Copies of this chain bind each other. A is one copy, B any other.
Amino acid sequence: MRTLIRGGTVVTATETSKADVVIQDERVAAIGVDMSVEADRVIDASDRYVMPGGVDVHTHMELPFGGSFCSDDFETGTRAAAFGGTTTIVDFAVQDYGEGLRQGLDRWFEKAQNACTDYGFHVIVREVNDQVLKEMDELVGEGVTSFKLFMAYPGVFMLDDASIFRAMRQAGGSGALIMMHAENGGPIDVLVRQFLEEGKTEPVNHGLTRPSVMEGEAVHRVFKLAELADTPAYIVHLSSRDALNALREARDRGMPAFAETCPQYLYLSQDDMARPGFEGAKFVCSPPLRTPDHQEELWSGLRGGDLQVVSTDHAPFNYEGQKDLGRGDFSKIPNGLPSVEDRFTLLYGGVEKGQIGLNRFVELVATAPAKMFGLYPRKGTIAPGSDADVVVFDPKKERVLSAATHHMRVDYSCYEGRTVRGLPELVMQRGRVLVENGEFHGKPGQGRFLPRSRIPA
């Protein structure tokens, strides 16, 4: 089976070339000027960008939460991802207390049976002990090469610094990457209790009790621990100027210090959490949305290279039936936003506004996450031999984001009514069309597990 994508502008993290792309079976065979090859199918990409499929390294499909689950499972979530131009996700398997990492991972393999796109796994480590450290090495050997730790949520996910340090050294030894939720959870919980006692129960207090200074502190601590452990570290969902400055300080002293931010921190703010009534609950996630002045700083970090990745932290909960568990007590609002479908186009908005360049867009949305997490060269680019995960993107198409039209299984959109430019018109995975003209052509279960390589030194 051969496909020819003709007449488009091929965009990678480095190149912007008028060129045709030849796809042979599952892989990119060639990129060239006016390729005259026979093909089973010819796709006209005139006036379109031909880009690698997006790689979203931070999703939470079907994550359990207090008896309930994130509203997207792997089937609905990856389908929505595909509509949005993302063809690879890396989801988080969760160790339960008292069990090993493998048991948690096994549950997630089970959940992912119906995935429509390719996927990999990180593992969230809730307990560190000798057995867990040994398992970390084993899993790395099987292609699960990154582990997420928490400095927040005492009693639920939070690890102490000794455990974090032990895990870091283990990861350093095996070439795994430590990912960190960097908020200092202890003082935050003190503030939460105080606010509730004072009757401050509305959603915006979620943000007011998680001040950015505690994110900055945590990021600083991560890189001091990593310095001592002599290992890289990666901050997930970096949300604030304080955190970015701590990251920069580490990078300036030569540390292999990395971080992602998410579209919500680039476009939404604490003002959204303060919307009247309970609507702010739709915007409750952790770290919380910050005041609007943090946004330009994050764009600056993306532009200058201090932030390497944009992912989503996709963790959807329905407004009706889930978010409303927190009416009268903001601390009971499920933390998380739906975003997996919107990332590609929202980030492209930065190109439209001149905040980032076109190649940098591709790097952030696909190439860098693929390289950072051991998926390259299979994923994250359009190059001979790479998986033919391709987005034909119409940069001029205007549309309005809305829960009425999105494909995520959640009853609201954080971007309801926002007009965006750019549409992933045709989305292909390993040479097969997943989405075309707004129709889904994929099948549940066709997504493959992606064993990932060790982190490059």
On A, residues with C-beta under 8 Å from B are 10, 12-19, 22, 24, 27-35, 154, 160-166, 184, 186-187, 189-190, 211, 213-214, 216-217, 220-221, 224-225, 227-228, 245, 248, 251-252, 254, 297, 300, 303-306, 354, 357, 363, 367, 377, 381, 383-386, 456-457
Query: In the complex, A435 Cα to B252 Cα: how many Å?
Result: 40
Query: In the complex, A254 Cα to B16 Cα: how many Å?
Result: 25
Q: Are B161 and A377 in contact (CB under 8 A)?
A: no
Q: Are B213 and A224 in contact (CB under 8 A)?
A: yes
8 closest Cβ pairs, A-B complex: A30-B32, A162-B186, A161-B186, A19-B384, A217-B224, A254-B300, A165-B187, A305-B305
Residue in B10, B186, B189, B381 whose beta carbon sits within 8 Å of that of A15 in the complex: B381
Q: For A228, what are the chain B residues with a Cβ–Cβ distance below 8 Å?
A: 187, 211, 213-214
Q: Are A383 and B30 in contact (CB under 8 A)?
A: no
Oligomer copy total: 4
Q: Are B32 and A32 in contact (CB under 8 A)?
A: yes
Query: In the complex, A227 Cα to B220 Cα: how many Å?
Result: 15
Q: Are A225 and B15 in contact (CB under 8 A)?
A: no
Known: A187-B161, A187-B165. A304 touches B251 (CB 8 A): yes
Most buried by B among A28, A187, A381: A187
Query: In the complex, A13 Cα to B359 Cα: how many Å?
Result: 12
Q: For A354, what are the chain B residues with a Cβ–Cβ distance below 8 Å?
A: 457
Q: Are A17 and B385 in contact (CB under 8 A)?
A: yes
Query: In the complex, A174 Cα to B353 Cα: how many Å?
Result: 20
Residue in B10, B33, B35, B164 whose beta carbon sits within 8 Å of that of A27 in the complex: B33
Q: For A245, what are the chain B residues with a Cβ–Cβ distance below 8 Å?
A: 252
Main SS class of interface, A: mixed
Q: For A154, what are the chain B residues with a Cβ–Cβ distance below 8 Å?
A: 162
**Which residue of chain B has the shortest Cβ distance to A12 in the bound complex?**
B14
Query: In the complex, A186 Cα to B159 Cα: how many Å?
Result: 11
Q: Are A190 and B162 in contact (CB under 8 A)?
A: yes
Query: In the complex, A386 Cα to B18 Cα: how many Å?
Result: 10
**Minimal beta-carbon separation of A430 from chain B (angstroms):** 15
Query: In the complex, A161 Cα to B187 Cα: how many Å?
Result: 6
Residue in B16, B30, B186, B248 whose beta carbon sits within 8 Å of that of A33 in the complex: B30
Q: Are B254 and A252 in contact (CB under 8 A)?
A: no
**Which residue of chain B has the shortest Cβ distance to A151 in the bound complex?**
B161
Most buried by B among A214, A224, A386: A224
Query: In the complex, A221 Cα to B10 Cα: how many Å?
Result: 40
Q: Are B213 and A384 in contact (CB under 8 A)?
A: no
Query: In the complex, A452 Cα to B251 Cα: how many Å?
Result: 33
Q: Are B31 and A31 in contact (CB under 8 A)?
A: yes
Query: In the complex, A34 Cα to B228 Cα: how many Å?
Result: 47
Query: In the complex, A186 Cα to B161 Cα: how many Å?
Result: 6
Residue in B190, B252, B385 whose beta carbon sits within 8 Å of that of A166 in the complex: B190
Query: In the complex, A381 Cα to B15 Cα: how many Å?
Result: 8
**Minimal beta-carbon separation of A5 from chain B (angstroms):** 13
Query: In the complex, A297 Cα to B254 Cα: how many Å?
Result: 8
Q: For A216, what are the chain B residues with a Cβ–Cβ distance below 8 Å?
A: 224
Residue in B189, B217, B224, B385 whose beta carbon sits within 8 Å of that of A225 in the complex: B217
Q: Are A17 and B384 in contact (CB under 8 A)?
A: yes
**Which residue of chain B has the shortest Cβ distance to A357 in the bound complex?**
B456
Query: In the complex, A35 Cα to B34 Cα: how many Å?
Result: 14
**Which residue of chain B has the shortest Cβ distance to A194 in the bound complex?**
B169
Given A184-B224, A254-B304; 13 other pairs, CB 8 A cutoff: A14-B363, A15-B381, A19-B30, A22-B32, A30-B30, A161-B184, A161-B187, A162-B187, A165-B190, A213-B227, A217-B225, A252-B306, A357-B456
**Which residue of chain B has the shortest Cβ distance to A32 in the bound complex?**
B30
Query: In the complex, A33 Cα to B26 Cα: how many Å?
Result: 13
Known: A32-B32, A166-B190, A225-B217. A377 touches B16 (CB 8 A): yes
